[in-house]
Amino acid sequence: MDALCKLYEGFSSPDGSIRQESETQFNNLKQSDPNTFLQLTLGILQQQPNSQYRVQAAISLRNVFREFVLTPDNCIWNKVSAENQAICLATLLKCLETEQVNVVSLNLSDTVSLIAMELFPCGKWPDLLPFLFRLISNLQNYTGATSAPESVSIPARHAFRIIGEIMPVLDDVVTSHRDNIVSTINTALQFPDVEIRFEAIGLISSIVESNDKKNWSPLVPLIPSILETLQNLISAQHALVIDVLYRLTTISESEPAFYRQHFSIFFPQILNIAKNIQLSTDIRQAAMECLLCIVETRPMMCVKHPSFVNDMVSTLLSFMLEFDDDPNWSEISPEQEENDLESDIDDDDCLYPIGEEGLDRLARALDADSFIPVFYQFVTIYMQETSAHPWKYRYAAIMAIAQTIEYLPEDDDNYQDRIGQIISRVLGFLQDQFPRVRYACCQTIGQISLDHSPFIQEAFHSSVIPQLIQAIDDPISKVSSHALSALINFTEEVVAEDLQPYVRPLMEKLLGILHKHPQPPRIVREQCITMVAVIAGVIENDFTPYYSTVIPYLKKTMNEASPQLRTLKGKCIECITIIGFSIDYSIFKNDAQEIMLVFLQLLGSGLKGDDPLKEYLQEALQRMCRIMKQDFVPYLPHLLPGIFNILETREDSLATKLLNSNDSSSDEVDKSDGGSLGMLSAHDFIGMRTSLVLDMESSLDILNTFIEVLGSSYHEYIAGTIKVIHPLIRFSLSDEIKEKTYEVLSGLLKIMRELAERDSNIRTQFSQIMNELITLFLSVMDEECRTGTIDSQVIVINGVQECLDSFGNNILNNDQVAIIASRCFDMLQQSFVRRRKLDERSVGENGEIQAKLDVDDDDDKRCIEEEKEQEQELRLNILGILGVLMKYYPNVYWERVGNITIQLVSQHIVKVHNNVEDRVLGFHLSADVFQYLCPTAYQHCLPWIQHILEGINDPIASIQQNCAYSLAQAAKLEQFSGVLNDALQVLLLRLQSKTKGKSFNLAKDNCISVLSNIIVHHQGSINNVNEIVNLWISLLPIKYDTDEAQNSHTALMNLVDSKNPLILGQNLENFPRILAIFIDIYGTSMSNDSLNSRIKLLIAQTGPNNLQSFAANFSKKQIDKLQKLCQ
């Protein structure tokens, strides 16, 4: 033992050679004679009077067992004899009971917990639990006493702790000994030793976290005792206060329903801790975190407390007042000049960020009707505050608006008035005497611009833009920079016509700042450059007059920027490429070649993971590809190897890198490591957002752009790209990578299909790849059904649909069509089974909502509804694959699975027997049948028409929309004339209704689309055709459903081009209205490139004189847009 103790001493020697030699001898002993090593270690634990040696011995044992957990096939423990293993386990328990030095006993406790997690479930340590419960039961001998001796209390504390840590493998024990455990914990909570009570609370936390409700519900009556213990700790200013709050937060995260019965006392007591300014920031933050975790998963439980929302909003806003007024805030330090400003509040020991983030979390969790009125009531009070430091109240209120503005519901009847009042209030403080209030105003305007575009830009451009331009001249650089940032966010969504009046003075101001000497602070220059980019992006070719001034400045600044100004260099790169994208390529062409050389040099220099230039270059490359098109192809050999290198990172190597990046550099692994990283599999990293994963996602985005833009010019690199991305289809660390991989793959397949039509060799290669991919897709779909989450299943289904769509026709054989369709029907059936299980969770045996077991409050029901919505999304996406099969293989589909499809629709659209989800599913599928399988299947579909017509005026918007879409497809068929007039009656009734909200607007748009198809395909069969045509024109343009908008507006253009007299009207009386429609939709999402070109041609053909007379009743905005179109 003395020799081993000498080695322990050597571990901490300042002499590196001694340390190395000690470690070598230690490892040699451990490996060569495990039994002797274990005996010596146990001997030190039992006999060595020096606690430092006992600590080392305990750590050594813990490492032996950690090795056993991580690498059981090659570890010391399995080389020890069974007799010595039994001696070791018994000695561990004996030492745990007798050791009085805390650091040693803590390590022993950790060691017991670690090995117990492995041995106890296998029945290999039967003595453990009786021993631990005996240590706890020893406390009963001191019930009513003021204290117990440490020889009793210390082992009891560790016993509680160990049971809590191994709770995940004790569920059967808890079930069979529930009453005894509850009684034991209850007794412990009355014990005078606060650390005993603390460990008892920890055990409660572990039971709740690891067990279902039947095991933890008997502990609910102990909540008052827990709160009493917490209050006693606070009164005594005990260090364990924050640890108790952490354990309560664990319950809040895992099973907040635990608090429901006592929430009326739990909430105010925890809130009072958060509000208590006499307590430390950490404690108050922990208390608030506990409450926020509850409301995030149990919002309905929380709002039933009458003052919950008021108290939470009030407290969180008060947190936002708790920051120091930095007298040097207006100055930009050298460090800030070189690095990005992450936050306006730079104080780790203040509650401001907790309040700000907490309001965001509270607003996200609560229904808008519960949160918004209360929040703005307090905001109004804060804005009117006149007590000491009133600017802090204004600052907090305005910043709180910025943090929560995204939750202001846009479908509320009072939305426009409320948002108008908010804008007016915030702009009113833009001239405040306190610069931080002005800063907050800029922050809020910028955030509103992002969260409520394009309405904000359309409604308030005339009031917001001038005031922000004025704010650029603020004497405080931080405010000036933030004003520019707000203006950037606002103008990105402003239409060119609304921005044009401000362009010249704004550009003069920006160029003046950029050319100023001495140079303004970096943050101002960066925002000026971005503002220039935004202007160019909005006004496009009208930016040409500024090109010769701006581009030389940007190139010079980019080339001269020091290594400390990487973001400034990135802003220049961004601005140059946006300008190039906005103007005619002939102007930018020469500079484009020069810029690409700079990009290649930067990429070749090697960019670190946190280099801000990386993201700017990744986006700039995509813009340059779109700008240069075929001129970009020569750069592919220089760019693709680096991209492929990133994408060739495999899951096992990526997981290793993630482990290494998170691994401690310390030689000794402490409790915080817990060995958990070493046990993580690739699956454990799903969704992990590391720079490595983000680089892979960005690389896929770049590839997708190259493929989309270059098309067949990318053909040389198709095989190499498929080889690189093929394994990523099964990439489990990131759903985004899988999704983007499918996008790239579908793009490649489109190119290959085009090439295959011209080249027989490529056709052969294409067919071989297709067959391999079909096999892969079927395998992946099976895997996802077995192990995938609903979200990942949706990604795979969407990806497979995109690829099948890219295949086109004449690729799949008959059996493959049938197999894929059959797999889809299987997945639908599995989803229906999962939904039935969800229904069983919420509905009791007698059809009544359960009140006590799995579903016992509104929050549980809400969670179940969310899961059911996910399942419905999956089912609708599965129908997408069936739709693609119908589209390209209608005859085979009809022959193989037509009857199943007809039955599925017929079963699901009947209102009497189905819920809303199933009816939506049925109507959705019926649209594809009408579109792709008719007229062959029309007689089988005829009974559906009556159900579809009834659904057009259903009170459920989703039913309306799907029925209208299905009817629009049916209306393209010649046989539809038999139900035409009945359909028109139903449509007219729907189009006259006043239902509001985005969902109903989408449904209405689809009804207008039905009218479009009726007028195009059945004009001669309409009884009151003039009335119907005039109604249709009056309802255009379609504003909400972009697909149906483009379809209907294209149909209108086709009718105009054909000079259809019914459409144009007598003496062209309808043409001014039609022209106004086309002017409104030009350049918006309600049009497309082809339609935009036809609109310009129509305007040119109309001639200036006719345009002048037709425009008599146009709005000023329409006239301005028309003038621009005429240029």
Q: What pLDDT is stored for residue 828 in this prediction? A: 95
Amino acid at 416: Q
Distance CA 859, CA 260 (A): 11
**Pick from 10-19, 272-281, 1021-1030: least confident:** 10-19
291 token code pair: 């409450």
Write down the CATH superfamily of domain 424-494.
Answer: Leucine-rich Repeat Variant (1.25.10.10)
Q: Among candidates 355, 249, 255, 265, which has minimal Cα distance to 297?
A: 255
User: What letters, b where the CB count within 10 A reaches 16 and e where it falls short, cover 225-237?
Assistant: bbbebbeebbeee
Q: Is 808 left (phi over 0), alpha (psi -120 to 50) or beta?
A: left
The answer to whether residues 742 and 803 touch, using CB atoms and an 8 Å cutoff, is: yes
The residue with greater pLDDT, 673 or 52, is 52
Contacts of 1059 (CB under 8 A, 6+ apart): none
On the question of pLDDT at 105 being above 70, the answer is: yes
Q: What pLDDT is stored for residue 993 in this prediction? A: 87
Residue the block writes with tokens 């569920």: 171
Say what the alpha-carbon torsion angle 408, 412, 413, 416 is, to the nearest 10 degrees: 30
Percent of the chain's residues with pLDDT above 70: 94
Q: What pLDDT is stored for residue 856 in this prediction? A: 53
DSSP 8-state secondary structure symbol assigned to residue 931: I
Q: Among candidates 676, 781, 804, 689, which has minimal Cα distance to 729?
A: 781
**Pick from 117-131, 326-340, 591-605: least confident:** 326-340
C-alpha distance from residue 350 to each of 277, 281, 345, 1027 (Å): 11, 7, 9, 68
1 token code pair: 């033992």
Q: How far is CA 1062 from the centre of its chain?
A: 50
pLDDT band at 655 (very low <50, low <70, confident <90, very high): low
pLDDT band at 466 (very low <50, low <70, confident <90, very high): very high
Say what the alpha-carbon torsion angle 456, 459, 461, 466 is, to the nearest 10 degrees: -110
Average pLDDT over residues 88-101: 93
pLDDT band at 653 (very low <50, low <70, confident <90, very high): low
Q: What pLDDT is stored for residue 994 in this prediction? A: 80
On the question of pLDDT at 759 being above 90, the answer is: no
Average pLDDT over residues 940-951: 96
On the question of pLDDT at 687 being above 50, the answer is: no
Say what the alpha-carbon torsion angle 172, 176, 180, 181 is, to the nearest 10 degrees: 20
pLDDT band at 328 (very low <50, low <70, confident <90, very high): confident
pLDDT band at 1056 (very low <50, low <70, confident <90, very high): very high
| Residue-level length of the chain | 1127
Average pLDDT over residues 728-755: 93
pLDDT band at 864 (very low <50, low <70, confident <90, very high): confident
**Using CB atoms within 10 A of its CB, is residue 453 exposed (0-12), middle (13-18) or buried (19+)?**
middle
Q: What pLDDT is stored for residue 907 in this prediction? A: 95
Q: What pLDDT is stored for residue 471 in this prediction? A: 97
Amino acid at 669: V
Q: 20-50 pLDDT, tens per residue?
A: 998 899 889 888 999 999 999 999 999 999 9
Q: What pLDDT is stored for residue 727 in this prediction? A: 92
The residue with greater pLDDT, 674 or 120, is 120
Distance CA 775, CA 924 (A): 28
Distance CA 709, CA 724 (A): 20
Q: What pLDDT is stored for residue 665 in this prediction? A: 32
Q: What pLDDT is stored for residue 657 in this prediction? A: 53
Intra-chain end-to-end CA distance of the chain, in Å: 96
**Pick from 839-853, 959-973, 988-1002: least confident:** 839-853
Average pLDDT over residues 690-717: 93
Contacts of 336 (CB under 8 A, 6+ apart): 523
Residue the block writes with tokens 């879409």: 965
The answer to whether residues 274 and 287 touch, using CB atoms and an 8 Å cutoff, is: yes
Q: What share of the chain is helix, strand, coil (3-state, %, to 5)?
A: 80, 0, 20
C-alpha distance from residue 21 to each of 34, 67, 668, 796, 874 (Å): 19, 22, 17, 55, 61
Q: What pLDDT is stored for residue 192 in this prediction? A: 87
Interior angle at CA 1043, CA 1040 and CA 1048, nearest 5: 90
On the question of pLDDT at 301 being above 50, the answer is: yes
Domain assignments of the chain as residue spans, ordered by start: 424-494, 496-628, 649-658+687-811, 1036-1126
**Pick from 188-202, 335-349, 449-463, 526-540: least confident:** 335-349
Handedness of CA 223, 225, 228, 230 (dihedral sign): negative
Q: Among candidates 476, 473, 466, 417, which has minimal Cα distance to 445?
A: 466
Q: 793-832 pLDDT, tens per residue?
A: 999 999 999 999 998 998 899 999 999 999 999 999 999 9
Q: What pLDDT is stored for residue 388 in this prediction? A: 74
Considering 175-189, 450-464, 838-852, the range whose residues carry the highest mean pLDDT is 450-464
Average pLDDT over residues 638-648: 94
Distance CA 210, CA 463 (A): 56
Average pLDDT over residues 451-479: 96
On the question of pLDDT at 477 being above 50, the answer is: yes
Distance CA 1077, CA 1051 (A): 13
Q: Crossing angle for the helix pair 82-98 and 34-47, nearest 10 degrees?
A: 20
Q: Among candidates 791, 635, 607, which has minimal Cα distance to 698?
A: 607
Query: What phi and psi, each to the nearest 5 degrees, are found at residue 385?
Result: -65, 135
pLDDT band at 523 (very low <50, low <70, confident <90, very high): very high
Distance CA 393, CA 390 (A): 5
The residue with greater pLDDT, 740 or 682, is 740
The answer to whether residues 703 and 744 touch, using CB atoms and an 8 Å cutoff, is: yes
DSSP 295-322: HHH-HHHHHTSTTHHHHHHHHHHHHTT-
Strand locations in 345-405, DSSP E?
A: none
Q: Is 234 left (phi over 0), alpha (psi -120 to 50) or beta?
A: alpha
Average pLDDT over residues 65-94: 89
Q: What pLDDT is stored for residue 340 in this prediction? A: 59
The answer to whether residues 628 and 709 touch, using CB atoms and an 8 Å cutoff, is: no
**Pick from 73-77, 343-347, 705-709: least confident:** 343-347
On the question of pLDDT at 338 being above 70, the answer is: no
On the question of pLDDT at 572 being above 70, the answer is: yes
Say what the alpha-carbon torsion angle 244, 246, 249, 250 is, to the nearest 10 degrees: -100
Distance CA 837, CA 1016 (A): 47
**Pick from 141-150, 349-358, 367-376: least confident:** 141-150
Average pLDDT over residues 773-784: 91
Distance CA 1108, CA 139 (A): 97
Distance CA 488, CA 467 (A): 13
- When computed from its CA atoms, the radius of gyration of the chain, rounded to whole angstroms, is 35
The answer to whether residues 245 and 283 touch, using CB atoms and an 8 Å cutoff, is: yes
Q: Among candidates 597, 626, 647, which has minimal Cα distance to 705?
A: 626
C-alpha distance from residue 725 to each of 343, 650, 699, 744 (Å): 39, 11, 11, 8
DSSP 8-state secondary structure symbol assigned to residue 848: P
Q: How many CB atoms lie within 10 A of CB 336?
A: 17
Distance CA 754, CA 1051 (A): 28
Average pLDDT over residues 354-371: 97
Average pLDDT over residues 1057-1074: 93
pLDDT band at 660 (very low <50, low <70, confident <90, very high): very low
Q: What pLDDT is stored for residue 341 in this prediction? A: 57
Distance CA 728, CA 776 (A): 12
Average pLDDT over residues 61-85: 87
Strand locations in 751-813, DSSP E?
A: none
The residue with greater pLDDT, 772 or 670, is 772
Q: 1083-1118 pLDDT, tens per residue?
A: 889 999 999 999 999 999 998 888 988 888 898 888
